[in-house]
Amino acid sequence: MNIIIGLINGMITSATPILLAALGGSLTYYAGIFNIAMEGMMLGGAFFGMLGSYYFHSWPMGILFAILGAILMALIFILFAVVLKMDEFITGIGLNLFSVGATTYMLRQIFKVKGAFSSPEIVPIPKIDIPWIKDIPVVGEIISGQNLIVYLTLLATIVVSYLVFKTRFGLRLRAAGYNRTSLDTSGVSANRIRVWSLILCGVLCGLAGSFLSLGYVTLFSEGMSAGRGWISLAAVILVSGNPTGIALISLLFGFTDGLGLFMQRSLPSQFTSMVPYVATLIALFVYSVRLKKKQTI
């Protein structure tokens, strides 16, 4: 029983940052932006979150700084891809590498360390115990006692889903991706919608970043997003942006990640660390085969 609870909690922990970033990616996907900068936004968020928490000794400031840091990255993306109309793919790659360089430089410049910075003065984001529920055996250990960001993620999934499908903004968002000329001619600036979708993506990636540096560990290390942004991009592509589908896919990736940790008893850790990336390849494979079948019918 303990193993299963551990697996489920591990699944939730590893799924959270991927899901948050993928929700951001979903918004830009509907807006018709080829946004591959989630990795860079997440990394920026992780660094600034650590910075805010360290200087103000408070985790709410950490979250705020993480969101602002990720929005800063999103603004750079907006400047180049929307304002200067540069290729979105090149902007994304450039921004991701800029983010790696800038966070490494600032880590060195502000904290005088290379590689990673950790300090007892960084305040982590707390876990939330829900009264009554936490006393229920098994279920309580899963539903209660998770990190605040985990609950926020759940909320974000519902909000994004509602936003995209039930609001005027969502309608315009999808129109911007589906046919931007017709949106423009109807009097709504498609570019403005695209800018907002990118800023919201920044907010969500900032939350994901704060979970990385202030969630279960309180440290920042160079390139700590470790490909999670790319996995979330794969998740977005696999379900064509649908938020509910993204949630399921992210949980699946989280599960494989937890499974990898579990397999460490019998396999070298290098192989178990590969599991989420192999799982992404397998998911892409299943998707492609299904797509092919649909097309032949």
Partner 1 sequence: MKRKILVNVVGVLLAFLLGAVVMLVQGYNPLETYYRLFEYSLAPGKIAYTLSKSVPLVLTGMSASVAFASGPINLGQPGQLLMGALLATIGGLYIDLPPLLMIPFLLILAMLGGALWSGVAALLKYWFNMSEFITTLMLNMIADFFTYWAINYPFFEANANHPQTPFIAKSGWMPEWGNFNSSVIVMVLAFGVIWFIVNRSTAGYEWRLSGQNSLFSRLGGVNISKNYLVVMLLTGALAGLAGGLVVMAGPHRFIKDIGGNYAWDGVMIAMVANSGIILTLVFGFFFSVLQTGSLGMELITAVPKELIQVLQAVIVLIVVAGRGYFETFFAKLEARRKMRERIA
Instruction: Report the nearest approach of partner 1 to the CB of residue 210 (Å).
Output: 23
Instruction: Report the nearest approach of partner 1 to the CB of residue 291 (Å).
Output: 7
111 binds partner 1 (CB under 8 A): no
The single residue among 1, 3, 84, 297 that binds partner 1, judged by CB under 8 A, is: 84
116 binds partner 1 (CB under 8 A): no
Task: Specify the stretch interacting with partner 1 by CB under 8 A; choose among 16-24, 41-49, 98-106, 185-193.
Answer: 98-106
95 binds partner 1 (CB under 8 A): yes
Side chain identity at 143, as an amino acid letter? I
143 binds partner 1 (CB under 8 A): no
DSSP bridge pairs for 127: 147
The single residue among 13, 91, 157, 161 that binds partner 1, judged by CB under 8 A, is: 91
Confirm if 28 and 198 have CB atoms less than 8 A apart.
Answer: yes
281 binds partner 1 (CB under 8 A): yes
User: Following DSSP, what letter does each residue of 21-32 receive, concatenated?
Assistant: HHHHHHHHHHTT
266 binds partner 1 (CB under 8 A): no
What's the DSSP call for residue 124? Answer: P
C-alpha to C-alpha distance for 126 and 233, rounded to whole angstroms: 28
291 binds partner 1 (CB under 8 A): yes
The single residue among 4, 138, 155, 284 that binds partner 1, judged by CB under 8 A, is: 284
What three-state secondary structure class fits 290? helix
What three-state secondary structure class fits 220? strand
93 binds partner 1 (CB under 8 A): yes
The single residue among 2, 270, 293, 297 that binds partner 1, judged by CB under 8 A, is: 270
The single residue among 57, 60, 87, 143 that binds partner 1, judged by CB under 8 A, is: 87
94 binds partner 1 (CB under 8 A): yes
Task: Specify the stretch interacting with partner 1 by CB under 8 A; choose among 82-90, 144-152, 155-163, 175-183.
Answer: 82-90
C-alpha to C-alpha distance for 5 and 89, rounded to whole angstroms: 40
Cα–Cα separations (whole angstroms), residue 30 to 34, 90, 158, 170, 290: 10, 20, 16, 9, 22
Cα-Cα-Cα-Cα dihedral of 127, 45, 228, 193, to 10°? 110
What's the DSSP call for residue 130? Answer: P
Confirm if 67 and 206 have CB atoms less than 8 A apart.
Answer: yes
C-alpha to C-alpha distance for 139 and 26, rounded to whole angstroms: 30
261 binds partner 1 (CB under 8 A): no
Interaction site with partner 1 (CB under 8 A): 76, 80, 84-87, 89-91, 93-95, 97-98, 100-102, 104-105, 108-109, 226-227, 230, 233-234, 237, 268, 270-271, 273-274, 277-278, 280-281, 284-285, 288-289, 291-292
